[in-house]
Amino acid sequence: MVARHDLATDPGLQEQLLQARRGTAFFARKLNELSDAELDGGSLLPGWTRRHVVAHIGYNARAVARLVEWAATGVETPMYPSVEVRNYEIDYGATLSPIALRNLFDHSAVHLSVEWRDLPDAAWDHEVRTIQGRTVPASETVWMRSREVWVHAVDLGNGATFSDIPAPVLERLLGDITGAWAARGTDRGLVVRYTAGGRTAELGDTGNPAAVVVHGSLAGVTEWAAGRGSSGVSVAGAPGTEAGAVPPAPAWI
């Protein structure tokens, strides 16, 4: 039997699909390292066990697949009927038996990958709508999923760190987070500075000479910006002032 391949031919999109699938494989590895009993343990997300994280990732794949189906058929299929339904699914999924929870992750991930594989070139530009109400091209679903699997693999709390996430994913994630801050005006007086690949970049209120600067490696500042900790980052005040404690990052979502 001849193997089937992605119909998408755009090199940039192909690279994004590869990163999303690598992220799914990484999440699967961290999940498989956990015993069934360890699924009951706490995650890095307040109020969520590891079971909640796995359920969220499983149902998220189904939700993203619905958007891809929308792009393929032109028939509107929202991610979820409502935020309440999404939250109910996660809480329900967290009560599944370990084998059912693991199967939810496995089967939903394969389903989404197949939906992406079979989406023709022309359909990737078709517009769909996210649970937040944003209208985006179907190609955005790849990043939506990639962000989820890489970050939540860390949230399982069994050894994964932001240093395990590829630099292109980290840079786009940090751009998303700081962009959300800018849209709300919560980045005023705050600059994020990081080093990656021998270069230094700054995001945030870069035109403010009195801004507090949070700086560190790309992985470190992204971890901080995502609200997952501040190890490996430092803070500097305005010129002439002493460095202080690292402040909590503004809310991302």
Q: Which residue has the tokens 């600059």?
A: 191
CA nearest neighbour of 63 among 99, 32, 90: 90
DSSP helix/strand/coil, 17? helix
CATH class of 11-160: mainly alpha
pTM of the predicted structure, to 2 decimals: 0.93
Residues 216/208, Cβ–Cβ less than 8 Å: no
Report residue 252's pLDDT band, with 50, 70 and 90 as the boundaries.
confident
Q: Which residues contact 121 (CB under 8 A, 6 or more apart)?
A: 7, 8, 9, 10
pLDDT tens-digit series, residues 144-180: 999 999 999 999 999 999 999 999 999 999 999 999 9
107 backbone dihedrals φ, ψ, rounded to 5°:
-70, -40
Give the span between the Cα atoms of 179 and 201, in whole angstroms. 15
- Among 51-60, 69-78, 100-109, 234-243, name the one with the lowest average pLDDT: 234-243
In this predicted structure, the answer to whether residue 240 has a pLDDT above a threshold of 80 is no
pLDDT tens-digit series, residues 111-129: 999 999 999 999 999 999 9
In this predicted structure, the answer to whether residue 31 has a pLDDT above a threshold of 90 is yes
Residues 93/55, Cβ–Cβ less than 8 Å: yes
182 backbone dihedrals φ, ψ, rounded to 5°:
-60, -40
Average pLDDT, the chain: 93
Residue 125 CB neighbour total at 10 angstroms: 10
Q: What percent of the chain clears pLDDT 70, i.e. is strictly above it?
A: 96
CATH class of 167-236: alpha beta
Q: Among the residues of the chain, which ranges form H helices?
A: 11-32, 50-73, 83-93, 98-117, 140-155, 167-184, 218-225
Question: What 8-state DSSP symbol labels residue 178?
Answer: H
Can you give the C-alpha Rg of the chain in angstroms? Answer: 19
- Ranges of each domain in the chain: 11-160, 167-236
Average pLDDT over residues 88-93: 96
CA nearest neighbour of 171 among 233, 221, 231, 236: 221
Average pLDDT over residues 182-207: 90
